[in-house]
Amino acid sequence: MKTRWLKVTVACLLFGGSFASLGAASKRPEQFDVNKYQSKIQNEKRLNAMGIREIDPNTPRTLENYVGDADGFLEILFERHPMFHYEREGRLVGQYRISDRMEEFVEMNSGPKFAKKKGLERAAITYRLGMESILDYPNKFVGPDKCGECHPAQYEQWERSRHAKSVRFPEQMLEVDGDLKRPLYGSSASILPLGIQEDDIYAVIGTPRTKYGFIDRWLVRGTYHVQDGNLSDLSGKMVAGGNQFSRVWAQHITPETAKKIAEFSPGFPTKMEDFGRSQSTVWGTNSYGANYAKSMAFQPASSYCEVCHSFKFDFKSRQEFFDAIGDKDMLREHTISRGISCEECHGAGAHLYGARGAGMPSNCERCHQRFAFHEDEAEPNPRKPFNAYFKSSCPSCGTEGAQMYSSLHYDKGMRCTTCHDPHEVTANDWRDEYTLVGLKQTCQDCHPTQTEFFAEMGGAHSKDNCTGCHMPVMMSCENFAAVQNPDKGGFDNVRTSHIWKIDVSKDRKSINPPAGKDRDPMNVKGWRFDRDENGRFFVDLMWSCGRTTWADPNLVKPGASGCHSPIQSTLPKDLHFTDQAMIYEKVMEWQTPVKNGYEEIKKGLKEVNKAIANNVSLDVDKKSQAIFLAKEANEVKKKLEKDGGWGIHGPQYSKKIVDEALVYLEQAKNILGIK
């Protein structure tokens, strides 16, 4: 297996570029030991009579094997990709770094540090490849349509989900009638950026809920655009960034809305130049995987895209695949599977190749359990020394499982499929900008006491549900620091958190920068979830009540109130929460009388129970009445404890049963003669 040091050297020799310029862009190649990562894959060299690689089924395929698999592909790209043509001619604006499988699967988020600590050769902390990738030939993939022949019900649910739409060809983009250059949502931004045409790409990545990116016809992630020309004829200049359509920015964070946000979130960008590294040439098209006009990742799809936005080919050999690189028609013709389809979880070919049952060689956690390792995480919770992966100052998409991993729910045995139907991940229309999922169980199925309190809520909250507060949309699919501010609960958030525990605090925050760093989302990296006294993540009050997001059904679906967002709420002005302290004061109005009443109940029960035990001369009738009344009061006490909301789940109902318990105790005291 070639190291990145060798890859960079090859690139320089091929294109006559200076080692200094490429080396600087490729992340410290001089620090890599050439011998350390030499390939141990003996079976990679075995070819049959047809020139097809044979895999020895008795040889385990390790992380190192996966990393080494990509080397030949990178060499093809160094020869053919237009980025290097633009570079040779001095028409490349911005430096690139080679982002390969070594970086993504071995080095990211302190993988080497964790591996050394645990005595492992290497560790994939954040990303995990599926059982087979686009570089594996021959493969046994049959495609979802073949699975649907015998599993029509599951196929129908899957086919209408966003999983099935995460990778599409231009003609399949129904939301724009196949026109990828048409501006969307009243903006000037289109799915494909400046200088990139339909013939330049293999497929579009993304759906109307969040964003659109592209994989070019060389199967490299599009981290660039072209100014004063087109990629098709290699004219103009290739510029880093300006590459990805953002629905939140294009449709909702208009210049007018940006000014409103800036009123309570100081520093929020209101002009294009304020967006810093995320800016571009068009409002609504940001720079992702790139810093505008400065730097970008040269990232083959095998190193990143296919991990979660999967696709597979039916080429017979790796050479056939390599021959098609750069030919969009050939690549599309041989695409047998697009999106997160049946075989991503059930394995290539599943039971069609003779196995008894489909099996589950992979599951949700492959894409939805992205971790980050920090050595100091072991101190608050030695059992769970991992945080969730952050791209900027908000947790990344795909970290639902990493969040849940540190929850009490996980420790009690809950997993993704406890609640989710994995085939119906989108129960509503996939064109909506929010998601309603097919659920097998809801919060109410396991939390009847809280459900009882909430049923008695009354008012605006009675229209909401548990997830509205306990599972706020917190995650971002983009490294879009310019529009992220976790202290204000916004504003580029498109995925539901899986933490559940709300921390009622005036100032304690769910998300914090590294110790000693400013709370500046634009310029400070390394943010992570804080932990409570039990070492678990928590949701702060700003995220729970005052967040601003356009992908949360509790805020944006028809009939929703917009909760307490300063931008979206339809409630009275005094209920638009611009900071956490405002929310805390409102919560205290509910909790204080309930908590005080609870303490009175505890004190009264102690007095009554003591009097019952000590008053041996009390007649049976009076004693039984006192015991009954104390028991009723104790049931209220236990119900309040089991609910745990102290008035939040139903303030009037909570206060009502507290008052009832105090009446029971007062009557018991009268019977017992307690003053």
The DSSP result for 114-142, as a single string, is HHHHHT-S---SS----SS-TT-SS----
Q: Would you state the pLDDT for residue 66? A: 84
What is the mean predicted confidence (pLDDT) over 148-173?
96
pLDDT of 17 over the 80 cut = no
What is the mean predicted confidence (pLDDT) over 486-500?
96
Tokens representing 288?
């992702």
Q: Would you state the pLDDT for residue 181? A: 97
Q: Would you state the pLDDT for residue 44? A: 42
CB of 495 within 8 A of CB of 543? no
Q: Would you state the pLDDT for residue 14? A: 42
* Spatial CA neighbour of 106 closest among 76, 61, 65: 65
| The one-letter amino acid at 409 | H
What is the mean predicted confidence (pLDDT) over 173-197?
97
Q: Would you state the pLDDT for residue 26? A: 35
pLDDT of 175 over the 50 cut = yes
Per residue, the 3-state secondary structure of 542-594, as one string, reads HHHHCCCCCCCHHHHCCCCCCCCCCCCCCCCHHHCCCCHHHHHHHHHHHHHHH
Q: Would you state the pLDDT for residue 57? A: 59
Name residue 503's beta-bridge partners. Answer: none
Summarised one tens digit per residue, pLDDT across range 121-146 is 999 999 988 878 899 888 889 999 99
CA–CA distance, 287 with 422 (Å, rounded to integer): 32
pLDDT tier at 484, thresholds 50, 70, 90: very high
Q: Would you state the pLDDT for residue 56? A: 61
Question: Mean pLDDT of all residues in the chain?
Answer: 89
Query: What are the helix and strand counts (H, E) for the chain?
Result: 27, 19
Tokens representing 530?
């804080």
Q: In angstroms, how far is the first alpha carbon of the chain from the final one?
A: 85
Query: With pLDDT > 90 as the criterion, what percentage of the chain qualifies?
Result: 78
Which residue has better confidence, 352 or 161?
Answer: 161
CA–CA distance, 608 with 625 (Å, rounded to integer): 12
Tokens representing 387?
């945080």
Q: Which residue has the tokens 């969730």?
A: 388
Q: Would you state the pLDDT for residue 35? A: 38
Domains of the chain (ranges, CATH numbers): 34-50+61-128+167-308 (no CATH), 391-399+423-574 (no CATH), 584-672 (1.20.140)
- Other Cβ atoms within 10 Å of 324 Cβ, number: 20
Q: Would you state the pLDDT for residue 358? A: 66
pLDDT tier at 350, thresholds 50, 70, 90: confident
Q: Which residue has the tokens 């390394």?
A: 526
| CB-count burial class (<10 Å; 0-12, 13-18, 19+) for 493 | buried
Cα dihedral: 595, 599, 604, 606 (round 10): 140
CA–CA distance, 360 with 343 (Å, rounded to integer): 9
Q: Would you state the pLDDT for residue 351? A: 87
pLDDT of 49 over the 70 cut = no
Count CA atoms within 13 Å of residue 418 on its CB side: 13
pLDDT of 508 over the 50 cut = yes
pLDDT of 221 over the 90 cut = yes
Q: Would you state the pLDDT for residue 34? A: 31
Cis previous bond, 491, omega within 30: yes
pLDDT of 50 over the 60 cut = no
CA–CA distance, 126 with 111 (Å, rounded to integer): 8
Which residue has better confidence, 462 or 157?
Answer: 157
Q: Would you state the pLDDT for residue 58? A: 66
Q: Is 602 helix (H, G, I), strand (E, B) or coil?
A: helix
pLDDT tier at 6, thresholds 50, 70, 90: very low
Q: Would you state the pLDDT for residue 357? A: 65
